[in-house]
């Protein structure tokens, strides 16, 4: 419970959460996303953003340039129309492709990419935009390091028509915990019969190989009863893998560890 100090009585307060209203998931769950940015009105809203968000040290000149362009657009409809077209083109040709995880951050091997400056972007506007476009929120690297994968070990797009294995020779080096998650083509969870969307530290029934390695199965159909404990159900279409390492060890932060590739086995 969190409440103002003025309401503190010296006794712990409780709340019957069972009476809190619930809202069912929309019928189109897993089939799209909320469109947060409308390029046609972007430059209409930008003045408010510039007023509310102060510039970082060194961004003062950039702010001044943008404000001068916005002032000119406010006086000249032709300039305003040109700005709107620039925003529409940028959304399609620059921001749109950043939705793909393969365009997020830098390549680190085995088909994976990562943003080593997550949550601490500074002047790296491209990565900040990519994260906002493709997965919205991230922690700072010391808290969580994220890795993204759209392709298999040979560069083919991950797709539920195929079967894949991800084999860790050693478990991800973390002080906290790790997980491997499957997202559909919209970067959302796809409903499945197991209600399972990831595997990792929290799963105590994972079966290790005789040599101590761990193989996870990523595919649409069950790999068989003896392997289901290590199975992350995948959607039938394109999908992506998302490796999280919470409280990562030095080898992760220093770029000395990369998740294993997703190997196509059929």
pLDDT in tens, 90-143: 999 999 999 999 999 999 999 999 999 999 999 999 999 999 999 878 999 999
Q: What pTM was estimated for this model as a whole?
A: 0.86
pLDDT in tens, 66-89: 999 999 999 999 999 999 999 999
Q: How many residues does the chain have?
A: 266
Q: Looking at the domain assignment, is residue 11 inside a domain?
A: no
Of 48, 74, 99, the domain-final residue: 99
Q: Given pLDDT bands bounded at 50, 70 and 90, which one contains residue 36?
A: confident
Q: Looking at the domain assignment, is residue 18 inside a domain?
A: no
pLDDT at 28 over 90: no
Q: Domain range holding 54?
A: 39-99
Same domain? For 120 and 159 the reply is yes
Cα(111)–Cα(149) distance, rounded to whole angstroms? 6
Same domain? For 111 and 209 the reply is yes
Q: Which of 208, 156, 148, 154 is nearest to 182 (CA)?
A: 148
**Counting Cβ atoms within 10 Å, is residue 111 exposed (0-12), middle (13-18) or buried (19+)?**
buried
Q: Which of 239, 34, 216, 229 is nearest to 148 (CA)?
A: 239
**Mean pLDDT of the 231-238 span:** 98
Tell me what the pLDDT averaged over the chain comes to.
94
Q: Looking at the domain assignment, is residue 170 inside a domain?
A: yes
Say whether 138 sits in a helix, a strand or coil: coil
């Amino acid at each position: 419970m969190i409440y103002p100090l003025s309401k503190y009585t010296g006794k712990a307060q409780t709340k019957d959460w069972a009476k809190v209203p619930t809202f069912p998931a929309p019928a189109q769950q897993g089939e799209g996303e909320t469109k947060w940015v409308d390029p046609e009105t972007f430059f209409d809203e930008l003045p408010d953003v510039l007023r509310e968000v102060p510039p970082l040290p060194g961004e003062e000149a950039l702010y001044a340039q943008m404000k001068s362009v916005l002032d000119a657009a406010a006086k000249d409809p032709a300039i305003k129309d040109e700005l709107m077209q620039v925003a529409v083109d940028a959304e399609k040709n620059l921001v749109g492709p950043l939705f793909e995880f393969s365009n997020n951050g830098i390549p680190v091997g085995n088909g994976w990419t990562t943003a080593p400056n997550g949550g601490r972007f500074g002047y790296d506007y491209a990565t900040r935009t990519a994260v906002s476009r493709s997965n919205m929120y991230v922690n700072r690297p010391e808290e969580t390091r994220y890795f993204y994968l759209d392709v298999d070990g040979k560069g083919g797009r991950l797709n539920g028509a195929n079967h894949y294995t991800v084999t860790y020779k050693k478990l991800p080096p973390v002080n906290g915990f790790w997980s491997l998650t499957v997202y559909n083509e919209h970067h959302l969870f796809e409903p499945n019969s197991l209600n399972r969307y990831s595997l990792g530290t929290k799963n105590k029934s994972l079966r290790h190989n005789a040599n101590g390695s761990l193989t996870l199965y990523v595919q649409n159909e069950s790999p068989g009863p003896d392997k289901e404990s290590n199975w992350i159900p995948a959607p039938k279409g394109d999908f992506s893998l998302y490796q999280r390492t919470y409280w990562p060890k030095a080898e992760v932060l220093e770029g000395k560890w990369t998740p294993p590739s997703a190997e196509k086995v059929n």
